[in-house]
Structure 1
Amino acid sequence: MTTPDLRTQFLEGMSRAAASVHVITTDGPGGRAGLTASAVTSVSVDTPKPSLLVCLNRSSRSAVAILENGVFCVNLLGAEQTALAEAFAGRTEGDRFGTGAWITGPTGSPVLADALVAWDCRITRSELVGSHHVLIGEAEQIWLNAPRLPLIYANRQWLGAPGA
């Protein structure tokens, strides 16, 4: 048996790790943009403002806009919001922001009105690590909607969605 290389093993292993699905949005001088991401986690609540870490592929046009704007909103999707995940992952045609109801947060970033949670953030740190920008943002405002099941991505598929 041939042993796959470390990179292949890593990618396969990460595909098996369940993660919440988020739509990361921005607006400002760099333009209005957004993408689907699962690489999001809390950093600290014991900073001047609570902070989040987001990893974005450097080849993404949305990542370029987020960096130029210096702001982003992390919108945690509910289990029933696969259409939004698909749209912002670029798997469907048309205006990504045509799916869902949007409001504008204090940073100017689009906020999904019915996200489970939305964190509107300003970037405080950014570092390029390999293929990804690692961003830390401090929350300017947080929206909490009624609790429900989150959309999860694992084994290269949406989990928790109706019919999944």
Structure 2
Amino acid sequence: MHLPRDLNHTDSSRARPPGSDPADQAGVEDNVLADPQALTYPAPNTDGYDLDEPSAQAWQASNDFRNGISHLTRGVAVVTSIDHHGERFGVTTTGVCALSMEPPTLVVCIRRRSKLGRNLPSTRRFCVNVLSSQQRDVAEAFAGLRGVDRFSNGRWIAGVNGSPVLSGALASFECEVDLLYGYPNHLITVGSVQHVAQAAEHDDPLVYAAGQLSSLVPPDLAMAAMH
């Protein structure tokens, strides 16, 4: 099954393509980091950026970029968090990378208008769940393609910091937010890793390449390994 070309940072709260849900955008200011009570991070730097409707030239540049970046194979993760009222949030993303080993630090990119993006400044905690090729349904659910209750896919437990942890994920990194930076419609989130859990069995990772979810192991080899 093909996922939306913009798999990265999609809001998983509804089964529709990212950015098509007016309820998700209603009443949301472009500068979601402006409230000083909720945030001690640098204000987003949007100088030189037009956050209104992009021009035709900008759309073409964006499409060219998407087509080009589709040749870059990326791992797939679900990033989750929970607020102080117990409401859980999560998105499917390929925008995760290690910033440093000492101290252990991750960088995660999230759409600012997603529910997760809107709540990270206050929750200040999250978990990066790295998916295996057997967890495609979880990736699709959190990309907004399967139903309203995305957490009905997979078995979820509360982590050390309270964030939802996916049982059986290849690895789960529970983090505290060190820094949030808006650029300009995404949050660049720097997280200090507090706890790491790994699956007992090392399955093949789920990857996103050429506009679709896939496995690093060819299907014929995967079938042979099962027999």
Of 75, 82, 91, the match for 1:20: 75
Secondary structure (helix, strand or coil) at the match of 1:81 reads helix
Counterpart residue type for residue 118 of structure 2: V
Secondary structure (helix, strand or coil) at the match of 1:86 reads helix
Q: Does 1:55 align with 2:95?
A: no
**1:34-53 matches, cutoff 5 A:** 34-47=90-103, 50-53=104-107
CA offset at residue 94 of structure 1? 3.1
Return the structure number with greater strand share: 1
Q: Distance in 1 between matches of 2:70 and 2:126?
A: 25
Q: Contact 1:20/1:38 (CA < 8 Å) preserved in 2?
A: yes
CA offset at residue 44 of structure 1? 0.5
CA offset at residue 5 of structure 1? 4.3
Of 124, 130, 136, the match for 1:70: 124
> Which residue of 1 is the match for residue 211 of structure 2?
156
Q: How many residues align?
A: 159
CA offset at residue 68 of structure 1? 2.1
Counterpart residue type for residue 41 of structure 1: C
Residue-by-residue CA offset, 1:90-123 (whole Å, 9 max, x unaligned): 1111311111111111211000011000000000
Of 111, 134, 144, the match for 1:90: 144
Of 54, 58, 61, the match for 1:6: 61
Q: Contact 1:70/1:123 (CA < 8 Å) preserved in 2?
A: yes
Secondary structure (helix, strand or coil) at the match of 1:7 reads helix
Counterpart residue type for residue 7 of structure 1: S
* Greater gyration radius: 2
Counterpart residue type for residue 185 of structure 2: S
Q: Distance in 2 between matches of 1:95 and 1:10?
A: 32
Q: Distance in 1 between matches of 2:204 and 2:155?
A: 19
CA offset at residue 62 of structure 1? 1.9
Gaps of 5+ in 1: none
> Percent identical across equivalent pairs?
33
CA RMSD between the two structures: 1.9
> Which residue of 1 is the match for residue 14 of structure 2?
none
Secondary structure (helix, strand or coil) at the match of 2:84 reads coil
Residue-by-residue CA offset, 1:114-159 (whole Å, 9 max, x unaligned): 1000000000011001221000101111001121100001111111
**TM-score, normalised relative to structure 2:** 0.66
CA offset at residue 7 of structure 1? 2.9
Q: Distance in 1 between matches of 2:67 and 2:202?
A: 31
Q: Contact 1:33/1:66 (CA < 8 Å) preserved in 2?
A: no
Residue-by-residue CA offset, 1:56-82 (whole Å, 9 max, x unaligned): 111211211233211110000000111
